Amino acid sequence: MTAVDEGSSSGRGKPIPELSAVMPAYNEEEILPIAIGEAVDALESQCERWELIVVDDGSTDRTPGIIAEQHERDPRVWAATQRPNQGYTKALIRGFTEARYGAIFYTDADAQFDLNEISRLYPLLADHDMVAGYRIDRQDPWIRLLTSATYNRLQSWVLGVTMRDVNCAFKLFRKSFFEKVHLSSDGFLIDAELYARAKRAGLSWAQVGVTHRPREKGSTTVKLSTITETLRELWRLRRSLGQ
């Protein structure tokens, strides 16, 4: 395992030859038009070829219609639909499976990241299988900051993997990463599983600081679990890894 703190892009023109971006969404009608619009602008400015896969995880609001409208404007934006709701982990796995290009990126549909920063991570894929962002000056309520810090420590302790911001939804992968790492979680620890299985497969990653913004619209739908639930899932994952 290798980890570094910083990366930068150089050169002119569009720095990324091809990229599949995965964006899970569940009842995100308030913020989704903004999130997709910003993603399209960023992908168009940075990538020669790209697609944006919005995984509609059984939404009951206008989320499906918004994705359809965006697809009409630009066919490179398209929906992978799950019915009924299957949860964040299954949504991400579905998106990773559907991705077509050699580099795969994922983020959430809450518009809390500047996707123009993907080009800062991309050069590090030359030497690493995964490049993970960590949030600089994280703009979340204090309870989420406390919970996240606790999760980071628990996951490092149980799995023996050091990660700066395990659940940061700003990660970039080589497509070959998912040929070597097969995700099986159906709970809420997919990011921990990504790191743990990458370590077991002998893959490397880099960590890069990224900008984090307050959520302006909508509300967080990811379940905040208890310490007991987290430990139970972590030990289950550890057993599945044969540790």
9 domain residue, yes or no: no
Q: Which pairing describes strands 103-107 and 170-174: parallel, antiparallel, or unpaired? A: antiparallel
Task: Assign 59 a pLDDT band (cuts: 50, 70, 90).
Answer: very high
Region of residue 152 (left: phi > 0; alpha: psi -120 to 50; beta: else): alpha
- Average pLDDT on 13-33 reads 95
| Higher pLDDT pick, 26 / 190 | 26
Domain of residue 70, CATH code: 3.90.550.10
Strands of the sheet with 170-174, listed across from one edge = 77-82, 47-57, 16-25, 103-107, 170-174, 130-136, 205-211
4 domain residue, yes or no: no
Q: What is the pLDDT of residues 123-148, one digit of tens each?
A: 999 999 999 999 897 666 656 666 66
3-state secondary structure 76-115: CEEEEEECCCCCHHHHHHHHHHHCCCCEEEEECCCCCECH
Task: Report the percentage of the chain scoring pLDDT > 70.
Answer: 78
223 domain residue, yes or no: yes
Predicted pLDDT at 7: 39
2 domain residue, yes or no: no
Stated pTM of the model: 0.84
Name the domain count of the chain. 1
User: Does residue 230 register a pLDDT over 50?
Assistant: yes
Domain coverage including residue 54: 16-240
Task: Assign 10 a pLDDT band (cuts: 50, 70, 90).
Answer: very low
65 domain residue, yes or no: yes
Task: Assign 121 a pLDDT band (cuts: 50, 70, 90).
Answer: very high
Q: What is the pLDDT of residues 90-114, one digit of tens each?
A: 999 999 999 999 999 999 999 999 9
Amino acid making up residue 29: E
Task: Assign 1 a pLDDT band (cuts: 50, 70, 90).
Answer: very low
User: Does residue 2 register a pLDDT over 80?
Assistant: no
Q: How many CB atoms lie within 10 A of CB 120?
A: 20
112 domain residue, yes or no: yes
Task: Please classify residue 157 by burial: count the beta carbons closer than 10 Å to its beta carbon, then call 0-12 exposed, 13-18 middle and 19+ buried.
Answer: exposed
User: Does residue 241 register a pLDDT over 80?
Assistant: no
Task: Assign 222 a pLDDT band (cuts: 50, 70, 90).
Answer: very low
108 domain residue, yes or no: yes
7 domain residue, yes or no: no
Predicted pLDDT at 83: 92
